[in-house]
Amino acid sequence: MPAPTKPTISPTVWMILFGLLAMAAVSFFSNVGDVAPIPYSQFQSYLDAGKVKQVVVNGDIIRGTLNEAMPDGKTAFTTVAVPRDLAAALSGKNVEYSGVAGGGAFATLLSWIIPPLLFVGIWMFASRGAGGMAGGLFSIGRSKAKLVSAETDIKIAFDDVAGVDEAKAELHEIVDFLKRPDEFGRLGAHIPRGILLVGPPGTGKTLLARAVAGEAGVPFFSTNGAEFVEMFVGVGASRVRDLFEQARTSAPCIIFIDELDALGRARGVSPMGGQDEKEQTLNQLLAEMDGFDRSVAIVVLAATNRPEILDPALLRAGRFDRQVLVDRPDKIGRVQILKIHTKKLSLAPDVKLEDVAALTPGFTGADLANLANEAAVVATRRGGENIGMADFTAAVERIVAGLEKKSRILIPRERRIVAYHEMGHALVAMSIPGSDPIQKVSIIPRGIGALGYTMQRPTDDRFLMGLHELEDKMTVLMGGRAAETLLGEDISTGASDDLAKATDIARGMVLRFGMDKALGPVAWDTEQGQFLGQPGVFWQPRRFSDQTAHEIDQAVRTLLETALARAIGILRDNRAALDEGAASLLAHETLSAEDLPAVRPPATIAAIEGGTT
């Protein structure tokens, strides 16, 4: 891309400034010449002697001529009047007196120059703005998209993107369309008009778009959905038109719109009424995407993590023809991503990326990049020569649980409660078949409110969970509260996060998964966010009766009470292991899986559970 030119002042502006200065100079110097300034007292004497021939009064300034020349040979004079009473008093004392015009000659000159210069300066600032004469007030409707040169500015290719093989294969076809449009068009196929990348935050949607630009080697217009939204109606639509006009002159090219939901939110769903600016901008985008010639090789690439709120007209065939899911990577994908992000790191021989990937289920590509950097920071802080597996484990703990709070000193009673609480989680998980293996238990405070944590390591990536698996997860979450109950002291606030997670699972089982026999296979709540995991719109009316709401509350409460009772039964049967493990935690603060006490075999536990619950 050419270097930005320095803003310059046009010749027209210089001509205006020169004219204003000339006018001020003529006005100022027109009064300078054969005119002699004299004191007002001398003017009074000339007047009394009858020597004044003509007088012109302009406010306090008096100009005139004499019948005869003054000692300096001049007949024209000018003076500044003095109030009559003061002049009479001074004349009786034989005092020479004179007046002074406000500001003097210099102030008079400035009064002619400063206002025009101020006006010209404001005009130049409004027309030029921050981007030269082409930006600012007079170009508010111009597109803010950045033209990126694929040859010089983009160093990313598909080899630099891992963990999303299906999305890469789909986008590779778009690259081939742009490179060889004639080959794909020999059977009548035409280039897709729009490709929408959808997925959770941090999965690499923007990175994929840059890789497409790097592979295709065509002009790449990059913008954001929020850059089209302005306060003034019509500005966003004008920017959309300008963007597509630029794209047509640069075809074949790619237009990339990040965060499309800021621009393409569904029309008519706001409880506060329509918003003319956003709707006009969206309407213009719809018209442009369905209006440009099919022979023009322009691909609109967009990304969003909120496809559920996009306007249906935007997603129909002919506009965004394809939706490409960029999801969280599986274990194999995480290994590939870690290979990319650890390429420039010095790893110890004990580091196996497969083991690191097993520690990070649910991590996105951005999370894994952060993990590699955190591991390098941990190794640097301890003065190591390379990055070991322990550094990656510490980095995972730091990301998941937060920073260690060694300065947070707990009183002995609180440390004892936390030790029993965390050991309760661990022993319940060890006693339930199929639960994720325990990796570490600690009572070192971390993050904002965590006084301890129990780390489990899943053996596989899971995409479906059965009824009994969900019940097992709730039971493990209730293990901390169950241990506090058996301790015989007042239950504490330490289980607040466990209760919130267990309640979310129970409500999902009842409201969305139809797992309660009494309520039947009905989805009572379908307004959950697709990728962000947030609840639906707050004004959505409830779609069930008060009686059904009461039954839902009872079903959720029953599931949680059953899970708590089951956890209490497991820990009561393993009370000796609970006391031993809590004592070890109090002594060492952190225990690994090998340091945990043994629990009774699962079969025996199942038999006891059947008799106690």
Positions annotated as catalytic residues are 422
Residue (of 201, 210, 202) closest to 168 by Cα position: 210
C-alpha pair distances (Å), 420 with each of 187, 274, 417, 425, 479: 70, 56, 5, 9, 10
> Based on the number of CB atoms within 10 Å of its own CB, is 102 exposed (0-12), middle (13-18) or buried (19 or more)?
exposed
Which one-letter amino acid corresponds to residue 559? L
3-class SS letters over 25-74 = HHHHHCCCCCEEECCHHHHHHHHHCCCEEEEEEECCEEEEEECCCCCCCC
Tokens, residue 377: 């920071």
Q: Is 299 helix (H, G, I), strand (E, B) or coil?
A: strand
> Residue 84 and residue 321: Cα distance in Å, rounded?
91
Tokens of 409: 């000193």
CB 75, CB 17: distance < 8 Å = no
| C-alpha distances out from residue 192 to 8, 180, 197, 296, 303, Å | 43, 14, 14, 11, 16
Strand, coil or helix: 591:
strand
Q: Which two tokens stand for residue 99?
A: 């007046």
Q: How far is the C-alpha of 125 from the C-alpha of 115, rounded, in Å?
A: 16
Residue 424 main-chain phi, psi, to 5 deg? -60, -45
- Count of CB atoms situated within 10 Å of the CB of 42: 15
**Pairing between β-strand 194-198 and β-strand 322-325 as defined by DSSP bridges:** parallel
CA dihedral 40, 45, 50, 54 (to 10 degrees): -10
The CB-side HSE value for 511 (13 A sphere, CA atoms) comes to: 20
Report how far apart the first and last C-alpha atoms of the chain are (Å, whole number): 72
How many whole angstroms separate alpha carbon 510 and alpha carbon 523? 8
| Dist. CA 224–CA 206, nearest whole Å | 11
List strand residue ranges (DSSP E) for 67-183, in order: 76-80, 146-148
CA nearest neighbour of 61 among 26, 97, 102, 20: 102
Distances (CA, A) of 573 to 468, 500, 597: 21, 26, 14
Per the listing, tokens 């993107």 go with: 161
Q: How far apart are CA 79 and CA 57, in angstroms?
A: 10
Neighbours of 458 (CB within 10 A): 15
Structure tokens at 502: 């267990």
* Cα separation, 604 vs 601, whole angstroms: 6
